[in-house]
Amino acid sequence: MLGPLMIDVEGLALDASDRELLRHPLVGGVILFARNYAEPAQLAALTREIHALREPRLLIAVDQEGGRVQRFRDGFVELPPLALLGEAYDRDPDAALDLVGDCAWLMASELRAVGVDFSFAPVLDLRTPHSRVIGDRAFHAEPRVVARLAQAYVGALHRAGMAAVGKHFPGHGVVAADSHVELPIDPRDLLDIEQSDLLPFRALVNAGIEGMMMAHVRYPKVDDIAAGYSRRWIGDILRGDMHFEGVVFSDDLSMAGAEHGGGFAERAESALAAGCDVLLVCNHREAVIEILASLGREARYPQTQARLMRMHARGAAPPLATLHDEPRWQRVAARVRDLDPCPELDLGDDNLLG
């Protein structure tokens, strides 16, 4: 059984405390950061050890969106921010859709080659001038364009044997505040959100996306609590109205935007009760220990298991060195490198989560 917590590890290899926590029955996965990466062989060894700890094997995830949010760089192709692909769509939609597929395939193929199951991607938020933390992480301002580009992106991930996670439901792109440091408030009513932000999420649910990550944003005209703690958003809207049957991930419960949920144990209980399948708890080992102690040792949400099984990578993947010798990789990598999209990169800020 895989449990509902996805946690981090400290360094380039597991230590005894990491192994003990990862064997806990309520842990179901690991999220990796830039500090966990030195070079491809080291990363492949780390993921092999993590996968060997449990059966079914723990899920391994990373934020490898491209642009500002790409944890693994040296030895991997630097991916463009999604906004660059949206700008390409404005010039030539068909060529941009092909480019989106190449970027997604490249990301998935390189991650799978080192044993990572999935990336938390794509971002389905709208690109607006209001949100600095989303900004160029989003494809486009127009919801239908976001939906079309994201469908091409997810289709390419699936062809590469990787599941997809859309974020941040029900939409983070319109609010100015950064949920890493405070709780953003979106004053719009449900109809306004339905007619804009929710369109890409609905389209991707219909396309079979496997995961959704919740936003640490409060929408007071819909519910008094943030979306990640809200039965209204998760149970009534995402699962009920939109018929989403995949994994619902919380955003990191250590973020400031989650603090209004109380202590860490209370945040975990509230998120699970609202309908989250997986709780991310990052860069805070004491919080992980507190949550595990409060939840006990017995997984209480058996319906989560079938959903989590869909998040494992599918099919065989060649090692990274072998992948880099393949003509398709060389063609796609050259095309992406020629974009030269990122003159001012944030080289893997581990505090920019989700």
Q: What is the mean pLDDT of the chain?
A: 92
pLDDT score of 121 more than 80 = yes
Q: Which residue has the higher pLDDT, 106 or 351?
A: 106
Residue 214: in which H helix or E strand, if any? strand 211-214
pTM of the model: 0.94
pLDDT band per the 50, 70, 90 thresholds, residue 328: very high
- Percentage of the chain exceeding pLDDT 90: 84
DSSP structure class, residue 283: S
6-15, 25-34, 293-302: least confident range = 293-302
**Domain architecture of the chain: domains with CATH:** 70-279+301-337 (3.20.20.300)
Q: How many CB atoms lie within 10 A of CB 48?
A: 11
Catalytic residue among 140, 180, 216, 312: 180
User: In angstroms, rounded to a whole number, what is the distance separating the alpha carbons of residues 334 and 94?
Assistant: 19
CA distance 245 to 208: 9
Residue positions counted in the chain:
354
The amino acid present at 334, given as its one-letter code, is A
pLDDT at position 16 is 97
Averaged pLDDT for residues 139-156: 98
Q: Which of 102, 251, 252, 277 is catalytic?
A: 251
Would residue 224 show up in a list of annotated catalytic residues for this protein? no
Annotated catalytic, 251? yes
Q: What is the mean pLDDT of residues 45-50?
A: 98
Q: How far is CA 307 from the centre of its chain?
A: 15
Distance between CA atoms of 125 and 141, rounded to whole angstroms?
9
Between these two residues, 346 and 124, which has the higher pLDDT value? 124
249-304 pLDDT, tens per residue? Answer: 999 998 876 677 788 999 999 999 999 999 999 999 999 999 999 987 666 666 78
The per-residue pLDDT for 133 is 84
CA atoms within 13 A on the CB side of 338: 8
pLDDT at 347: 36
Q: Mean pLDDT, to the nearest integer, of 211-233?
A: 96
Average pLDDT for residues 1-14, to the nearest whole number?
95
d(CA 160, CA 329): 12
Unique residue bearing structure tokens 């996306």: 209
**Neighbour count for residue 322 (Cβ, 10 Å):** 11
Percent of the chain with pLDDT over 70: 92
The tens digit of pLDDT for each residue in 151-202 reads 999 999 999 999 999 999 999 988 866 667 678 899 999 999 999 999 999 9
How is residue 86 annotated by DSSP? H
